[in-house]
Amino acid sequence: MLRIGVSGDVGSFSEEAGFLYAAKAQGGKSEMVYLIDMEGVLAALVNDEIDVGIFPFVNYNSGIVWPAFSAMGKYNFMPIDDLQLNVEQCLLAKSELDINDIKELYSYTPAFEQCKCFINHHGFKLIDWGDTAKAARDLASGVLPANAGVVASAQAARSYGLVMLKQGIQDLQPNITRFIVVKKVD
């Protein structure tokens, strides 16, 4: 069974890219390993904890995913594939809130960059939480304030029982992100 390390939590876009790769490469027979960030993926790869790693490296709207390039500079690996995913950002909440009652948004800076028009229109305070799906999980579990909002996927809303207040809040449609698939250098 192929062990796929993704740079995100359950419900992340990296998880979705991982499932796409698993279907393409293994007919779906794989084990997903959630490593939250790119550094974690590459460290797990080097330490033989996973067989392949998947993480985003560029979004056609917001540009280079800088933490990916920072992590790539520290590890030796081989790119073996890349995937494109249309990333649809959503505003999630713990309960049915009026959007105007949300003052703070938690997510990952690249997700915020993809939703500038929506965010600027509402004047939210932005708090980088390192991963879109991790922010969703932490909102659902009570780590984040109950009146906070999260920018994440529709799958994150389903995975953690959150309310999707607004779907498709990104500035551009389609909102393509490219994910790199890497393996350890033999």
Whether residues 64 and 96 share a domain: the answer is no
Whether residues 45 and 58 share a domain: the answer is yes
| Per-residue pLDDT, 28 | 63
- Residue 25 gets the label, from left (phi > 0), alpha (psi -120 to 50) or beta, of alpha
90-93/149-152 β-pairing:
antiparallel
The average pLDDT across 155-163 equals: 97
Buried (b) or exposed (e) across 85-100, using 16+ Cβ within 10 A?
Answer: bebbbbbbbbeebeee
Whether residues 94 and 62 share a domain: the answer is no
CATH code of the domain covering residue 61? 3.40.190.10
If one counts the domains in the chain, the total is 2
Whether residues 7 and 83 share a domain: the answer is yes
The average pLDDT across 155-166 equals: 97
Query: Which of 181, 180, 174 has the alpha carbon at shortest distance from 60?
Result: 174
Whether residues 65 and 108 share a domain: the answer is no
Whether residues 94 and 72 share a domain: the answer is no
| Per-residue pLDDT, 39 | 93
Lowest mean pLDDT among 39-53, 61-75, 128-142, 155-169: 61-75
Whether residues 106 and 154 share a domain: the answer is yes
Whether residues 69 and 11 share a domain: the answer is yes
Buried (b) or exposed (e) across 30-55, using 16+ Cβ within 10 A?
Answer: bebbbbbbbbbbbbbbbeeebbbbbb
Whether residues 97 and 72 share a domain: the answer is no
Whether residues 105 and 148 share a domain: the answer is yes
The average pLDDT across 47-75 equals: 91
25 pLDDT band, cuts 50/70/90, is confident
pLDDT at 64 over 90: no
Q: In this structure, what token pair is assigned to residue 168?
A: 């498709």
Q: Return mean pLDDT, the chain.
A: 93
What is the span of the domain harbouring residue 16? Answer: 2-87+175-184
Whether residues 149 and 161 share a domain: the answer is yes
| Per-residue pLDDT, 108 | 92
Whether residues 71 and 101 share a domain: the answer is no
Residue 36 DSSP SS3: coil
| Per-residue pLDDT, 26 | 67
